[in-house]
Amino acid sequence: MSVGVAPNATPSESIKSPARQIADLAVPVSLEMVIQLLLTFVNQIIVGALGAVAVAAVGLAGSLSFLFFVTLGALGSSTSILVARRWGAGDRPGVNQTLTVSVLTGALLALALTVPVVLLARPLLRLAGGEEAVTLSATPYMQVAMLALIPGSLAWIFSGALRSLGHARTPLVATVITVIVESLVAYGLVFGVGPLPTMGVVGAAWALVVANVLKVALLAYQIYGPRQLAALALPARTAWRTITGPLLSISAPLAFTEFAWSLGGFLYAAVFARVGTEALAASQIVGTLEGIFIVGSFGLMSAATVFTSRALGAGDAAGARLWLGRIGRAGLLTGAGFGLLFALSALLVPPLFPRVGAEVHHIVLFGILISAVTQVAKVRNMIIGGGVLPGAADGRGVILGDVVGAFVVGLPLAVWLGLYTPLGVWGVFLGRSAEELVKVAIFEWRLRRVNWERLAQEQVGKEAVAAH
């Protein structure tokens, strides 16, 4: 067996260089995420025309609702891992059954979360401790935005499956279409263009709902439509456990770590809110800009998930290690390059946000410079903590890194430096940076413990059992 080439690879994949294979998967995924965050930034500019309170409100509500979106997004990651394994082993019925179970599970969990969060939006937002004007504006935004959870979760699942099936560009195309639609709808509903009503910040939330419904419809059509990449197929009663067991065992630690990570983001927002409305507004601008540049490397996480999982599914431990090395080197280069661009983006903030005030501009400038320093570490954390360790069945390592990094080091340091020292808002940014450094140390330690040979043998054994 040639190292690093799955037996189920297409002829075109087999003749491509490893760098080209990584780029073919990683670049569309990264572009998709960049476009999504550019949209968030555009919407932030639109809302920014309403003032700092509006920016702070959307940012606060977004950080809380994002907690639920990324938690269920773990199903997309686990689906990608399992579909890649079945695809690497040449198991088409397994692909169909895995995707069907994931879709049903995602829809039910999203529905179970949407109802209580919509009903409890205001008390949840009050926990952040922001000014009352911010909470009043954030509550209706969040209640509407949560309606996008069901289609958004299904879109994560379909996107993960498409990448593992060798169609990474399809989610990108769907994202481009929905981004254009959402931008137009957001502008129209925020300011009341033409026949559309003037809804203020809530209009941006309705645009989010429209975009997610459109996106999941487009992705479902690509999978189940004329291309027939997969088919709806419920597994037999005796086979449910063989699918739901791995799906939940991979999803549970991923969901926990995504929940912990996004909860940490909400709690950081709460600390910024206690420093002041200007600090909160500035942190949201910094976070959005940082996201645009950090997700320039996001596709490498998906590449690590897909290529290492395919290799393991084919019983190729050496290939899994080889792909990890290649993707790790790419992460170092992209992390440094995008980190520099992120630092330079500070120059664009004053002309793009002229109405938020000079104090917000000042905080954004230095917040960007502090955050850019740890860009390489953040990319490494995405690749190892988000892509490799989950696929290597080390969910505990992911949980350990996220919990210790955020709740033992980062947040306590941010609270102490931000609220009880003269550093103020700069201390909160420093706490967030310290979190990333701790996480990268823990993830590297756990990575050295992975037994690739044993994992590959286990996958081959499972396939042999399934064949009989």
HSE, side-chain direction, 13 A CA sphere, residue 290: 24
Where does residue 419 rank: exposed (0-12), middle (13-18), buried (19+ CB within 10 A)?
middle
> Quick one: which of 386, 400, 74 has its CA closest to 250?
74
Other CB atoms within 10 Å distance of the CB of residue 133: 13
The pLDDT tens digits for 302-331 are 788 778 877 887 788 888 888 888 898 988
Taking only Cα atoms into account, the Rg of the chain, rounded to an integer number of angstroms, comes to 22
Q: What is the DSSP string of 336-369?
A: HHHHHHHHHGGGGHHHH-TTS-HHHHHHHHHHHH
Q: What is the pLDDT of residue 468?
A: 47
Q: Residue 252 contacts by C-beta under 8 Å, 6 or more apart in sequence? A: 395
Residue ranges of the chain with pLDDT lower than 50? 1-13, 464-468
Residue 455 identity: L
Q: What is the pLDDT of residue 368?
A: 92
Q: What is the pLDDT of residue 465?
A: 46
Residue 169 identity: R
Tokens of 320: 């899994």
Tokens of 422: 């003269």
Q: What is the pLDDT of residue 221?
A: 92
> Quick one: which of 332, 326, 319 has its CA closest to 303?
326
Q: Express the helix, strand and coil content of the chain in percent, nearest 5 each.
A: 85, 0, 15
> Quick one: which of 80, 78, 69 has its CA closest to 109?
69
Phi-psi region of 130 (alpha: psi -120 to 50; beta: other; left: phi over 0): beta
Q: What is the pLDDT of residue 4?
A: 47
The pLDDT tens digits for 191-241 are 888 788 888 888 888 988 999 999 999 999 988 888 888 777 777 766 677
Tell me the C-alpha distance between 244 and 322, whole Å.
30
With vertex at residue 178, the alpha carbon angle to CA 145 and CA 379, rounded to the nearest 5 degrees, is 80
Sequence spans of domains, the chain: 17-467
With contact defined as beta carbons under 8 Å apart, do 66 and 205 qualify?
A: no
Tell me the C-alpha distance between 85 and 72, whole Å.
21
Q: What is the pLDDT of residue 12?
A: 46
Q: What is the pLDDT of residue 317?
A: 83
Tell me the C-alpha distance between 13 and 24, whole Å.
10
